[in-house]
Amino acid sequence: MKRNKMLSPTCPIRTTLEMLGGKWRLLIINEINSGSIRYGEIKRAIPEISEKMLAQELKTLVDNDLVVRRNYGEVPPRVDYSLTENGKKALQLIEPIRDFGLQYIKQ
């Protein structure tokens, strides 16, 4: 007899999906991959995302310790984003996801 295992708040898969899930987060992490990047550069790289959603997702990524936000305290404001060590680890998930998508598209 098979048992259904209930997911708990401490389930590692659920934790990962809560941190990285959604339409935009992995795309944003992928863009920040190259080093420090400014908000406008991310927006140009992902033109389909709204300003509000980009700001919200960046805040979530910062709160989840995947991205660092640096405010230089200048006028006009200068802010950039870079990956934390956890963010760099999350990059390792992107390649298998991309490979799966490529294989699926070829079918």
Q: Report the amino acid identity of residue 100.
A: F
pLDDT digits (tens, 9 = 90+) for 60-89: 999 999 999 999 988 888 899 999 999 999
The CATH architecture annotation of domain 14-106 reads: Orthogonal Bundle (1.10)
The answer to whether residue 11 scores a pLDDT higher than 90 is: no
Residues 63-76 as b or e (16 or more Cβ within 10 Å = b)? ebebbeeeeeeeee
Residue 38: which H helix or E strand, with range? strand 37-38
* 12-22 mean pLDDT: 87
pTM for the whole thing? 0.84
CA proximity to 77, closest of 46, 39, 105, 107: 39
